[in-house]
Structure 1
Amino acid sequence: MDRVKDLASKSAAVIFTKSTCCMCHSIKALFYDLGASPAVYEVDHDVDMEWALRRLGSNPAFPAVFIGGKYIGSAKDVISLHVDGSLKQKLIEAKAIWF
């Protein structure tokens, strides 16, 4: 759990992914389209990391998205924030994108 929090706090936007996850790819593409360059950690073979993310409430565990060091959620949570317009604002506040 400490490793997840440490990695999540090192960048304005962080996405924990698995290379075979189509929703992970979609969320990364959304962030890039919004102008963010998130730190991306592919944890394909790290079972401990997956369990730590699940303990944070990420279910399914991937993608797990952090903005400004705070856990935002998985794909459905990020998409909901994008649809209601607050994702971009969160990225601006965390200095992941500038306007």
Structure 2
Amino acid sequence: MDRVRDMASKKAAVIFTKSSCCMCHSIKTLFYELGASPAIHELDHDANGKEIEWALRGLGCNNPAVPAVFIGGKYVGSAKDVISLHVDGSLKQMLIDAKAIWF
């Protein structure tokens, strides 16, 4: 879990994904469209991907464990949570506050 926390705090926005996950692709696209350039960790391309996935589950990332989104080093949630934040307008402000985007 310490490794995941360390990875999640290296950039203002971090997304743990799998390359075959359509919701992961959608969340990455949303972040890019908002002007963010998140660190992307594709677990199916990482030699320690299974370990990271189990650590994410231990941190509260439910099934499925990806996409797991961290902003400002804090776990924000899964695709459903991120989309809800975007719809209510708070996702953009979270990204601004974390200095993931500038306006």
Selected match of 2:51 from 48, 56, 59: 48
Q: Structure 1 residue 58: deviation in Å? A: 1.0
Gaps of 5+ in 2: none
Percent of residue pairs bearing the same amino acid type? 80
Distance 2:68 2:2 in 1: 15
SS at 1:82 equivalent? helix
Q: Structure 1 residue 52: deviation in Å? A: 0.5
Structure 1 residue runs of 4 or more that deviate by more than 4 Å after TM superposition: none
Distance 1:86 1:55 in 2: 26
Q: Please give the root-mean-square deviation of Cα atoms over the aligned residues, in Å.
A: 0.7
Q: Structure 1 residue 56: deviation in Å? A: 1.2
Q: What does the per-residue CA deviation read over 1:8-48, in whole Å, with 9 as the maximum and x for residues that have no partner?
A: 00000000000100000000000000000000000115111
Gaps of 5+ in 1: none
Number of matched pairs = 99
